[in-house]
Structure 1
Amino acid sequence: MSVIIAIAVFIISYIFIMSEKINRALVALAGGVLLLLTGVYGWEDAITSYIDWNTVALLFAMMVLVAITKKTGIFSFIAISLAKLVRGKPIPLLIGIGFLTALGSALLDNVTTVLLFVPVILTLTNLLKLPSLPYLITIIMMANIGGTATLIGDPPNIMIGQAVSHLTFLSFLQHTAPIAIILFVLVTFILSIVFKKQLNKIDESNIKELMKMNEFSYIIKSPLLYQSISILLLTIIGFLLHPVFHIDLTIIALSGAILLLIISEKEVEAEKVFEQVEWVTLFFFIGLFMLVGGLEEVGVIDELARSIMWITEGDMTYTALLLLWVSGIFSGIIDNIPFVAAMIPVIKEFESYGMANLDPLWWSLALGACLGGNGTLIGASANVVVAGLADAQNKSIAFLKFMLYGVPIVLLSLVIATIYIYFRYLLPFQQPL
C-alpha cells in the first residue's frame, strides 16, 4: 500500500507543479506532508535521511552572500560593463553570458554561479528592454553543461567523487571536461539560432543610452563593497581548494555568509538581508526532497536501478549505455541529486557480479545525471534556483515552455555522450587481446 501511495502522491504533485496553477513550493510541501500523514515514512526519517540539508544550507548561504553584495552595486557594474563590451548586441551578449556561466559552473559549482549571474542578466535585460527568457534558459543550460566538467561543478559529481576515492579532481577534468566543451560549443550555437528572431528586435536608442552610461557610477564605494567582495572571493577560493583541504562546501559557504553578516551589521541589518532570501525556492527543495524520499523509502528508485543489471545481463556496453540514458531521463524528472544517491551503492554492487573496471559506469552516471538536469525546471538544483530568482523579479519561466527547449537539448546531449562513452571507454572492452 505504501508503494501505491508514494507513487500516486509523487505523480499528482508533479502534475500540479507542471500546471503551475498553485505555488510549486506549496505543492511539494503538501505532497511531503501527505507522505508523513499516510505513514510512508516518519518525520525523523524525513529530517535525517531524505531532506538534503547540505544543499538547502548551501543555497541559503549563497543567497545571503549575494543579497549583501548586491547592495554595493557590483552586479549592475558587471552587467553594464558586459553589455558595453559587446556594444549591446543581443546574440554576442547571449554567448558571453553563456561562456561566463559555463566557466563559473566548472570552477565553482553551478548553484553558486547562477546565484551570481541571474541578478546580472535580469538587470541587463531590463536595461536593454530585451526578453529575459532566452538568457535565463542559456544560463540554466550552461550551468549544467559547465558543471559537468569538474568534480565540484555539479552536486552529482561531488557525490560520485566522494564515493569513489580514485576519481579525483584531475580525473573529472580528463574524462568529463572534453565532452562538456564540445556540448558548450554545440548548444551555444543552437541557442543562438533558436533565439535569433526574438533577440533581433532591439531599439537602437537603448543601445545608445547604454553606451553613454558610466558603469563606475553604479558602484557604492563604502566599507561594505570591500568587505562583501573580499569574503565572496574568499568563499570562491575555498570552493576551489575543496579537493586540497576537503572542507565541506556547505561549511565554507555558511562560514562566509555568517562572517559577512557579522562584519556588515552596521551597514546592513540582518533582518533586511533575510527578507531577500528566496524562501520559496528553499522550501520547494525541502518538499521535493520529501517527495523523492517517498519513492526511495518504498524502494522504487532502488528497484529501478537494480533492474538495469537484470536487463543488460551484466554486459558492460549495454549496462553503461542504459545507465547513461536512464540517468539522463530520470534526472530530469526526479532531480539528479537523490537519483545519484540511490544509484551509487547499486553500481558498487556490480563489482560482485564480475565487473572489474567500473569507471565506464561512473562516467555514464555522471554524464547522464548532469546533462539530464537540463530536461525540466526541477531537473537540477541550478534550474530551481534560476526559476526562483526569475519569479521574484516577475520574470517567471513556464514549466512546459522550458521543456520545449530542455528536452531536445537533453536528447542531443545524450546522443553525443553515447558516442563519447562508446568510443572512449566501451570499444576497448570489445577489442580482442
Structure 2
Amino acid sequence: MIDARLLRDDPDRVRAAQAKRGLSAEVVDRALSADADRRAAIASYEAKRAEQKRLGGQVAKAQGEEKQELLGQTRALAAEVKEAEAARVAAEEAWNDAVLSIPNPAADEAPEGGEDDYVVLETVGTKPEFDFTPRDHVELGAMLGAFDLERGAKVSGSRFYFLTGIGARLHRALVTMAMDMAAANGFTEVVAPALVKSRAMEGTGFLGQAADDVYRIEGQDLYLVGTSEVPLAAFHSDEILPADSLPQRYAAFSSCFRKEAGSHGKDTRGIFRVHWFDKVEMFVYTTVEESFAEHQRLLAWEKEFMDALELHYRVIDVAAGDLGTSAQRKFDCEAWIASQERFRELTSTSNCTDFQARRLDIRTRAGSSGETTPVATLNGTLCSTNRPIIALLETHQQADGSVRVPQALQPYLGGLEVLEPLA
C-alpha cells in the first residue's frame, strides 16, 4: 500500500499519480476522509477506555452508596466503550478498503497513458528474413511433434495444451538454462508453491484490478498463482530482514495459472495466451534507495537470456496506465514473432518499491537508530516457457520445417543443433 504519510502530506501528488494512470482521484478524497474518521474513532475509543480504567480504580476503593453509583457509571461506560470499539473497527475497515484501492504511484519517468503509449527504449538484433514463406509456431509445432493442442482442449478445455517430444525437451532445456543463468548471477534457486493464501494474493496486489484473472479454490482460502512473484513476495512476510542481508535475490520455478479474463477472441491460435504455463521468476528484496539500480540489473539479466536465444527484440518502458497495481515502473522485452510481423512480450520486470512490503509487513533496520523501514521488492520474468518456444521456432525456422537451435541452448538439448520434422 502507499505510505499514509504521503497521502496526508501530499495528497495532490497522489491525485496526479491517479490521473497519470487514467484513474479517478475520488479514492484519494475517500481515503483522506476515512483516515480522519479512523483517527477520531481511535481517539474516542482510547479516551473511553482510559475513563473506564479510571472508574475501575475508584470502584475498588469506594464503599456503600458511592460504590453503587460508580458501578452504575461503569456499566454505562462499558456500553459506550463497546460501541466506540465497534466504531473504531468499522473506521479501520473503511480506511483499509480505501487505501488498498490506491495503486503504487508511477515513476516520474514512466510514460503517461495506456497500453499503446509505451516508449521504445532499445531495439536489439536484426529482424529475421526468410527466402520462403515462414510458418507459424502451430504449423511448426505439428511438424516437429512439439505440442498437441487438440488433445489439450479435449482434456482441459480451450487454451490448454500438451507439450510432447521435442516440445517437452525444449521446456526442460529453457527452464534449466534460465535457472543456471540465475544461479550464476547469485540468485538462490527456489521451487515455489502454486497455491497461496489470500494474504499473499492481496499483499502483492493481485486481488485488486487483477482479481478477475485469478483462479480461486472454492471453499478454501487458497488461490492458484499467476506468477511465482506471489509466493516469493510472501516468503518473508512479517519479518525484519537484516540490513547486511540485502539484497536478497531468489529465482523460482513454478506453474502459473491465469483465467485470461478480457482476452476473449485474442490470440486464440496456438500457445501464446494460455491458462497454464511454467515460469522462472526473479525476485529481489532490497532497499528503496537501491531498488532503481536493481531494476536495471534485472532488465540486463532478462536481456542476457534473450540474447542467448538469439532473438530480435525490443525493450519498452510501459506506460503508467498499463502498470499493475504494485508496479512503480515496468520494462518489457518483446520478441519479434515472424508470423504476426510484430513484437510480443516475452519478459517483464517491475519495481514495486515499498508497496508490497507495506502490505506484507516486510521491513529492515535503517541506520544506527535501529528504526525499521519497509523494504523494496522487485520482480522479473527470466523465462515463461510457452512464449520463448514460440519465438525460437518462428525465428530459427528453415525452409523444410526444421529449426536451428541457438548455440547457448544446445548443451541443454544434448548437443542437438537442429530440430528435425517428424518423418
Point out the structure with max Rg over C-alpha: 2
TM, length-normalised to structure 1: 0.22
| Higher normalized strand content (fraction of residues) | 2
Greater RCO, 1 or 2 (C-alpha within 8 Å, sep 6+): 1
TM-score (norm. length: structure 2): 0.23
More helix by share: 1
